[in-house]
Structure 1
Amino acid sequence: MADKDPGSYVMGNTSEEADRLGMQASLYDRHTEYLLRTAGLKEGMHVLDVGCGTGEVSLCAARIVGPSGRVLGVDREPGVLARARDNAAASPFENIAFEQGDLADLDTSGSFDAVVGRLILIHLDDPIGTVKALTGLVRRGGVVTFQDFNISRTRAVPDVPLVTRSVEWICAALREGGRDPDMGERLAHVLRLSGLSDPRVAVAVPTGGPDSAAVTLIAESARSLLPVMERGGITTAEEADLDTLRARMSRACTEVQATVYVPELVAAWAELD
């Protein structure tokens, strides 16, 4: 999900969570690119992707800026950066580089046309301070943009109680871990408090049917958060029955021919005066 303090990332650092993140990235790929373009990324830009993880957002940015642009992805985790480099090597893009390091260690003032970050601010204890620091890396006239989720908006239409209950577990677990499940709706506020004027907002929402990746994402998110759920008394392994949760949700959605809306992906952005 992002560049994060391992102690603050409540969803764990397991191989299963890494697989879940890969599936999530695939589900949101087109939506991420749409929001980056809407925020003002364009051909020829030099872009910094903070908390780049395995590089999916970096690849989106590289597609937008083209061969005349450049993308630098930064993350503190060497394991995810290795996967990011593999992903980039398997892509047609040659305009991407990755570096390991903390955001606080970056010393490239005014070097970028845009700073982007997807699903990073939700995992930071001081998102305002982070945005302030990153703004200093952007040239005048450049763009600062972040994307994050509104997880409580996840739902099935018509309503499927098991989906609703699973989303409630996920949101409660994130709050138990000190994280805001609806960071997306706070992004514009964070940008304003960071000194950026007139931030704008756009939203994109993937959907799926009863047997889609949308259902899988909900079930696997609950799986990643089970330790937090149990510690917080939110639910138990027996009640959640995670090994059958996806199949049960799929059956329930099939019964009413539901459409599943996964978390809204919100982008907020501002141009530097």
Structure 2
Amino acid sequence: MESIQTLSNQYALGHSQPELERLVHQERFLGELTEIMLLKAGLVPGMRVLDVGCGAGDVSFLAAKLVGPEGAVIGVDRAPEAIAFAHQRAQSAGLPGAQTMAMLRYENGPDSAIYAWIEQLTRTLLPLMQQTGVATAEEVQVDTLAGRMRQEAVEKGCTLITPPLVAAWARKE
């Protein structure tokens, strides 16, 4: 018997107010463990952190605490309700929105930040891509990647969404 698998782009639990509040309660239970994981991952003051799928913002808040005011954290979520909720919580907690926590949502169109983000991520991963034989620098053409993606996405009316479990850390130079 053949099975048909359908993948959804939607977060299974949704982004309702009760679900966002559930995430806050979950953080109270898992916060210490999450902080240990972030420390073991190497977060130190001055780093820049990208929290993809930030939801209510709790991991972003922990990361902001660890990287301090000289670092930066960007929390990204596709749900405007989650972004608004996390932004409100960041303001209530006294986190300086423009300096340590900025929320945004990936959208389509020529002005979206996703094109530059994917280009930079690809540039960072290019040595590993070459080492493992996934692609060569000539095949990727990373210097023109953002422009090519932007052009194709706009022409075809696409919306680009990153994989849900991508995170990146970098030391501030």
TM norm structure 1: 0.37
Q: Percent identity?
A: 34
Is residue 101 of structure 1 aligned with residue 106 of structure 2? yes
The alignment yields a C-alpha RMSD, in angstroms, of: 3.9
Cα deviation, residue 271, structure 1: 8.6
Q: Map 1:1-273 to 2 at 5 A.
A: 8-94=10-96, 95-101=100-106, 106-109=114-117, 135-136=121-122, 138=124
Write the deviation string for residues 178-233 of structure 1: whole angstroms up to 9, x where unpaired. xxxxxxxxxxxxxx9x99xxxxxxxxxxxxxxxxxxxxxxxxxxxxxxxxxxxxxx
* Contact preservation (8 Å) 1:55, 1:84: yes
One-letter amino acid of the counterpart of residue 116, structure 2: T
CA–CA distance in structure 1, aligned partners of residues 15 and 168 of structure 2: 32
User: The residue matched to 1:73 in structure 2 has which SS?
Assistant: strand
One-letter amino acid of the counterpart of residue 136, structure 1: T
Q: 1:89 to 1:99 in 2, by over 3 A?
A: same
Cα deviation, residue 7, structure 1: 5.2
Give the total of aligned pairs.
Answer: 124
Unpaired runs of 5+ residues, structure 2, are 1-6, 127-131, 136-166
Cα deviation, residue 102, structure 1: 5.4
* Contact preservation (8 Å) 1:73, 1:97: yes
* Contact preservation (8 Å) 2:64, 2:72: yes
* Contact preservation (8 Å) 1:43, 1:68: yes
CA–CA distance in structure 1, aligned partners of residues 38 and 123 of structure 2: 18
* Contact preservation (8 Å) 1:109, 1:137: no
CA–CA distance in structure 2, aligned partners of residues 31 and 107 of structure 1: 33
Unpaired runs of 5+ residues, structure 1, are 111-132, 141-191, 196-268
Q: 1:23 to 1:58 in 2, by over 3 A?
A: same
Q: 1:63 to 1:13 in 2, by over 3 A?
A: closer
Cα deviation, residue 49, structure 1: 1.0
User: The residue matched to 2:116 in structure 1 has which SS?
Assistant: coil
User: The residue matched to 1:101 in structure 2 has which SS?
Assistant: coil
Q: 1:90 to 1:13 in 2, by over 3 A?
A: closer
User: The residue matched to 1:28 in structure 2 has which SS?
Assistant: helix
CA–CA distance in structure 1, aligned partners of residues 91 and 53 of structure 2: 19
Cα deviation, residue 87, structure 1: 1.1
The structure whose residues are more often strand, as a share, is 1
CA–CA distance in structure 2, aligned partners of residues 15 and 78 of structure 1: 12
CA–CA distance in structure 2, aligned partners of residues 47 and 18 of structure 1: 22
One-letter amino acid of the counterpart of residue 41, structure 1: L
One-letter amino acid of the counterpart of residue 73, structure 2: V
CA–CA distance in structure 1, aligned partners of residues 9 and 168 of structure 2: 30
Cα deviation, residue 90, structure 1: 1.7
User: The residue matched to 1:32 in structure 2 has which SS?
Assistant: helix
